[in-house]
Amino acid sequence: MNLPDKTVERLSQYRRSLNNQLAKGKTHIFSHEIANLLHITPVQVRRDIMLIGYSGTLRKGYDIKEMVEIIGKIIDTDTGQKMAVIGMGNLGKAFIHYLYEKRTKLKIAAAFDVNPDKINKEYADVHCYHLDQLEDIIKKEGITIGIITTPPEVVSELADRLKEAGIKGILNFTPKPLSEREGVYLEEYDMITSLEKVAYFVKH
């Protein structure tokens, strides 16, 4: 199933919200309730759910458990996917600890840095290797996703190395944008832009 980027993003958000509703003992939900939880329109919710081929009933709405399972089948892989964090500053460490607690199908299998104080240490069961070992470890572990949390000046070179090592997806947490690399899905997260957007709306 080939879905638009934004739909996949929303499906992930739906799943999180639906799991919260399940935890509260709710079994069924209507599109307008999902829309309210995520501050989007009910029409958008219905469109997304139609795209994944699911339908609820007029009387009871969507079966939450069923919907969570369907989204899981679309987003997750059966065996899960392995990731590597490149750059073990505060952000890299926070990312590892956050995912470790969530226990999703996405597993951080390795971390990389050049700081001797960080190399050969464990962070939430993740071993930190020297950056020189990047290609070898990625190939050996079958890692497919790279998360870059390094200083911005090295991000472009790192993205090239990750592509050559066989990485299929990059999440760039540095403020320096990357150009597209053939065969690699790229997602950029700019914290400053997000903060400035919030500040703008607070100002107004």
Tens of pLDDT, residue by residue over 182-201, are 999 999 988 788 888 889 88
Q: Could you give the C-alpha distances from 109 to 129, 187, 201, in angstroms and in order? A: 11, 20, 39
What local confidence, expressed as pLDDT, does residue 4 receive?
86
Query: Same structural domain for residues 65 and 106?
Result: no
Instruction: Report the pLDDT value the prediction gives residue 2, as an integer from 0 to 100.
Output: 81
46 lies in the same domain as 116: no
User: How far, in Å, CA of 111 to CA of 134, rounded?
Assistant: 9
Q: What is the DSSP letter of 163?
A: H
The CATH number of residue 70's host domain is: 1.10.10.10
pLDDT of residue 1: 67
- Find out whether 151 and 127 touch, Cβ atoms under 8 Å: no
Q: Are residues 95 and 182 in the same domain?
A: yes
Are 101 and 152 within one domain?
yes
Determine the straight-line distance between the first and last CA of the chain, rounded to whole angstroms. Answer: 41
Q: Which of these three, 22, 40, 74, is where a domain ends?
A: 74
Residue 121 has pLDDT above 80, yes or no: yes
Please give the pLDDT value at position 103: 62
**Same domain as 158, residue 92:** yes
Model-level pTM?
A: 0.79
Q: Which helix (H) or strand (E) holds 106?
A: strand 106-113
22 within a domain of the structure (yes/no): yes
pLDDT tens-digit map of 27-78? 999 999 999 999 999 999 999 999 998 887 778 899 999 999 999 988 888 7
For 79-117, how does the pLDDT look when each residue is reduced to its tens digit (9 = 90+)?
A: 789 999 999 999 999 989 988 877 677 899 999 999 999
Total domains, the chain: 2
Q: Which domain holds residue 109?
A: 81-193
pLDDT in tens, 167-177: 999 999 998 99
Give domain status of residue 123, yes or no. Answer: yes
Same domain, 59 and 103: no
Residues 26, 121: one domain? no
Asked whether 10 and 48 are in contact (CB, 8 A), the reply is yes
Residue 135, Cβ density class (10 Å: 0-12 exposed, 13-18 middle, ≥19 buried) = middle
Domain end marker among 28, 57, 74? 74
Whether residue 40 sits in one domain with residue 14: yes
